[in-house]
Amino acid sequence: MKIKVLWKKFRRKIKYPILIFHIRIFIITLRFFPRKIVHVVHTILAKIAFRVVKKERNKTIKHLTEIYGNEKTSKEIYKMAQEVFIHQAINFTDYIATSHYTKLKQFKYIDIVGEEHLRKEYEKGKGVICLTSHSGSWEFSAIMPPLMGYETSAVSRSMHNSAINKMIVGARERRGMKNISRGGGYTVLIDVLQKGECLIIMIDQDTKTKGVFVDFFGKKAFTPLGAAILAKKTGAPVVPMFMRRTPENRYEFLIHPAIPFVDTGEEEADLQFNTQQYTACIEAFIRKYPTQWVWMHERWKTTPENVVKYGPKNIVVEKVE
């Protein structure tokens, strides 16, 4: 038994360095090929993955059917699901192929729309809560504010393997992003905003954090309260921003006007209402570009019925002072 445990540890020790080596070789190799050719290859690979990765394919089709089943045929939904895989493959390819870019001018295929909205709120000095989602290339979304010259931090969950985590965080930090490991509490995030910085926030996934149920595509979705709590505590504006891939294989970084925080003095009701507002903004973007969102994610896993199983403590709204 002891030999098996030791072998497992040894195998893990050598597995990750080999994996990282191959990832680095893959990233470097991508830079030597024309972008159009890389896209064609990864489109083919995405279609293969769509057929092979049965579990993720079925979840994608299932969720799209639940939302669009009354307006689209099964063939149309199948095609949408396949496009979801293709978008994710190309987004990933473009991101890692440009991981050595450290200046905005090097991103020749990204157009910025609405920067005036971010600049207006940033100059107020209260910090900016940058509300984005897992749509289009969300990694590009996160690095855009620092590349545009705005001091920016983002919260991320650490990977199980420290070497892989270091590689991912390093790619963000080279572009000016300051990484905050999840678990530090709201104090760290409040400090970022009080310094007048941008803070990247995502609330479009079902996670084990404090949250409430809000409407998302007509279904109750358990949604993190982080953005609303921070807006309440600091007065920082919430500015939605999304990165979408265009039919020409370019990217548009779309920055929207700030969403006003509604404060009636009723703490729990206000957090619920504002979280619903933020979610509605995200939904509106996804409805415009449905195949660019991660439909394989279990967005509606936690329900009012099974919340006891998946984490009842998360429903409790944190006291806002």
Does residue 2 carry a pLDDT above 80?
Answer: no
pLDDT on residue 321: 39
**What's the rounded Cα separation, in Å, for the pair 199 and 191?**
10
pLDDT on residue 316: 44
Rg (CA), the chain: 20
One-letter amino acid of 85: F
Length of the chain: 321
Which burial class, exposed, middle or buried, applies to 70 when counting CB atoms under 10 A from its CB (0-12, 13-18, 19+)? exposed
Dihedral sign, CA of 166, 171, 174, 175?
Answer: negative
Mean pLDDT of the chain: 85
Per residue in 264-287, pLDDT (tens digit) is 999 999 999 999 999 999 999 999
Does residue 138 carry a pLDDT above 70?
Answer: yes
**What's the rounded Cα separation, in Å, for the pair 87 and 264?**
41
Per residue in 276-320, pLDDT (tens digit) is 999 999 999 999 999 999 999 999 999 888 776 555 444 444 434
Percent of the chain with pLDDT over 70: 81
pLDDT on residue 313: 43
Does residue 4 carry a pLDDT above 80?
Answer: no
**3-state SS assignment for residue 264:** coil
pLDDT on residue 234: 96
Which burial class, exposed, middle or buried, applies to 127 when counting CB atoms under 10 A from its CB (0-12, 13-18, 19+)? buried
**What's the rounded Cα separation, in Å, for the pair 191 and 258?**
21
| Measured distance between the N- and C-terminal CA atoms of the chain, rounded to whole angstroms | 53
Q: How confident is the model at residue 207 (pLDDT cuts 50, 70, 90)?
A: confident
Of residues 120, 134, 124, the one with CA closest to residue 286: 134
Per residue in 95-134, pLDDT (tens digit) is 888 888 888 888 889 999 999 999 999 999 999 999 999 9
Per residue in 66-87, pLDDT (tens digit) is 999 999 999 999 999 999 999 9
% helix / strand / coil in the chain, to the nearest 5?
55, 15, 30
Does residue 157 carry a pLDDT above 90?
Answer: no
pTM of the model: 0.86
**What's the rounded Cα separation, in Å, for the pair 257 and 238?**
9
**Strand ranges, E, within the chain:** 110-113, 128-132, 152-156, 177-181, 198-202, 211-216, 219-224, 238-245, 251-255
